[in-house]
Amino acid sequence: MDPNKKIENNQETQELIDAYLLGKLDTAALANFNERMKIYPDFRVMVEEQRLLFKSIEEHNLKNSLDEYHEEILEDPKKNWQSQGWLAIAASFLILIGVVSWAIFNNGNSPEKVFAANFKPDPGLPTTMGTSSEYEFYYGMVNYKRKEYAEAISRWEPIYGANPENDTLVYFLGVANLANGNPRQAEKYLQMANKKTKSVFYEDTKYYLALSLLKENKIQEAIEALTNSSSSANISLLQQIKDL
């Protein structure tokens, strides 16, 4: 190898350095790569520059992910109780006081109260998309998790136009609409999702469908949506609606 040779800063070189940084070179290629680094100072500089970019991109994205994880901690009071026993005891007292007060001052429940007590948007899918083929869906999910529901809906609706059969999409469009204060539109999507009996979201769909109907004051339909449901959340919600 000629040490004065100019190493081209092109796509091929960039991909070779990527393979090295990601640990994808086999033994022979790695030996060759290390040899090139020894001989060509320019190449060494390129590798270091790319390593720095790699690290920066990773750290930038990790930081963003940490904010998402943090949101989930804040939204998940159940976890706090698990790690703070005393808080669980305090919460139990509060519940006890609540129950006693309810028994004394019970003025009857309303669909609004049941809705407010039970509606919490689905936490969403991890933004590592697995088998997803839609980049807009991916970004919509980022919006959804940031509670930018209108933005998420506007990204997802065009995808829905092209993929009306996608159960994940109709489910999240339903929940996003409900979170965005549009139960009628939510009902439309969730009724579609409710037909996908093999969907992993099937039980959750019934839950949010019942809440959409409740929000629209369609009590009987909400009861019907939950009848024969097997999840404990659905059974509990059904009981609360029946008690109205």
Partner 1 sequence: MQKISNRKIKDLPFNEMVALIKKNDAATLKELYKTNFHKVKRYVYKNNGGEQQAKDLYQEAFIAMWRNIKEGKFSAESETAINGYLFQIAKYKWLDHVRSARYKNTTFINREMEYNEPEVEENEIQNRKIKIIMDSISNFGERCQLLMKLFYFEQKPFKEIAKIMAMDEASARNAKYRCQEQLKKMTPIIPNGSK
Residues that bind partner 1 (CB under 8 A): 11, 14-15, 18, 22, 45, 48-49, 51-63, 65-66, 69-70, 72-73, 79-80, 83-84, 125-135, 138-139, 166, 168, 200-201
Q: Which is nearer to partner 1, 35 or 59 (CB)?
A: 59
Residues near 196 by Cβ (< 8 Å), separated by ≥ 6? 167, 170, 202, 205
**CA 188/CA 177 separation, integer angstroms:** 10
For the CB of residue 226, give the shortest distance to partner 1 in the complex, in Å: 21
Shortest spacing between CB 93 and partner 1, in angstroms: 21
Closest to partner 1 by CB, 29 vs 45, is 45
Q: Do 238 and 227 touch, CB atoms closer than 8 A?
A: yes
Considering beta carbons, is residue 5 or 70 the nearer one to partner 1?
A: 70
**Cα angle vertex 208, ends 204, 209, to 5°?**
110
CA distance 175 to 63: 27
CB of 28 to partner 1, least distance (A): 21
Least spacing, CB of residue 70 vs partner 1, in Å:
6
Q: Distance between CA atoms of 4 and 6, rounded to whole angstroms? A: 6
- The C-alpha angle 109, 115, 120, rounded to 5 degrees, equals 145
Specify the residue, 50 or 240, whose C-beta has the smaller distance to partner 1.
50
Nearer Cβ to partner 1, position 99 or 200? 200
SS3 content of the chain, % helix, strand, coil (to 5): 75, 0, 25
Give the residue with the Cβ less far from partner 1, 18 or 35: 18
Q: Least CB distance from residue 215 to partner 1, whole Å?
A: 25
User: For residues 208 and 191, is the Cβ–Cβ distance under 8 A?
Assistant: no
* Min dist. Cβ of residue 239 to partner 1 (A): 26
Helix (H, G, I), strand (E, B), or coil: what is residue 109? coil
